[in-house]
Structure 1
């Protein structure tokens, strides 16, 4: 099992780099080429969400992205360090914070819910957790097996 960990400061310009790294590692892990755009978009949404939460709450610690190649799946975890204590808002969308960051609270919660909805639309296997130490969005995709590719070619 191979793992790559990426940490970056909560700056919007770093989201693009995280998307490119995720797509490159996913390709190397064997994720189907047809799914790579979904990987890029989902990672972009998750990282943008984390950047917004960090900036809106004055959190200066880095955002963490862990890319793991398993035997049959490729998974990505995007973690923020904004305490949420398991809060849910907006019709029970897991991972949304009850206390909105500084600024326009209606706008932030709407963006947070929209980002989660986009991720859920792109990724079949997604899990959002929120706790005292922050939140994590875990997404995974199947890895195309070598045997399946060989069967198709024969």
Structure 2
């Protein structure tokens, strides 16, 4: 399992960089080319949401992004440090993820993410929140081991 970690100041201009890095790592991990735009968009939404939560809470702590390459899937975790009441939501393509106390803009971002990603988990508590998104990967067929 390989992991790439990003940490960036909660400023909107850094979201684009996170999207570009996520797409590059997803491509290397074996995520289907047809899905890379969805990866970029979902990461952009999750990072923009984290930046907004940090800014509205007056936090200067960095937004955390972990790009996790596993055997048959690629996962991205976007974490923030904005305190909220404990929440755990599972989302699927047919369902929505949301936090009961979230405002409309926050709900919209989570709805966009759950529409783009089949496997999403949103958690939040007094120490911050985490959005975990996963996509299947195709086996590496470039070179056989040996």
Q: Contact conserved, 1:29 with 1:143, CA < 8 A, in 2?
A: yes
Normalising by the residue count of structure 2, what TM-score does the alignment of the two structures yield?
0.87
Residue matched to 2:133: 139
Residue matched to 1:7: 7
Q: Map 1:114-125 onto structure 2 (within 5 A).
A: 114-125=108-119
Q: Contact conserved, 1:86 with 1:95, CA < 8 A, in 2?
A: no
Question: Please, which of 95, 99, 108 is the counterpart of residue 96 of structure 1?
Answer: 99
User: CA shift at 1:87, angstroms?
Assistant: 5.3
Residue matched to 2:92: none
What stretches of structure 2 of length at least 5 have no aligned partner?
Answer: 89-95
Normalising by the residue count of structure 1, what TM-score does the alignment of the two structures yield?
0.82
Q: CA, structure 1 residues 75+87, in 2 after alignment: closer, same or farther (shift >3 Å)?
A: closer
User: CA shift at 1:86, angstroms?
Assistant: 1.3
Residue matched to 1:104: none
Aligned length: 135
Q: CA, structure 1 residues 96+59, in 2 after alignment: closer, same or farther (shift >3 Å)?
A: farther
- Greater helix share, structure number: 1
Partners of 1:118 and 1:142 in 2: CA distance: 19
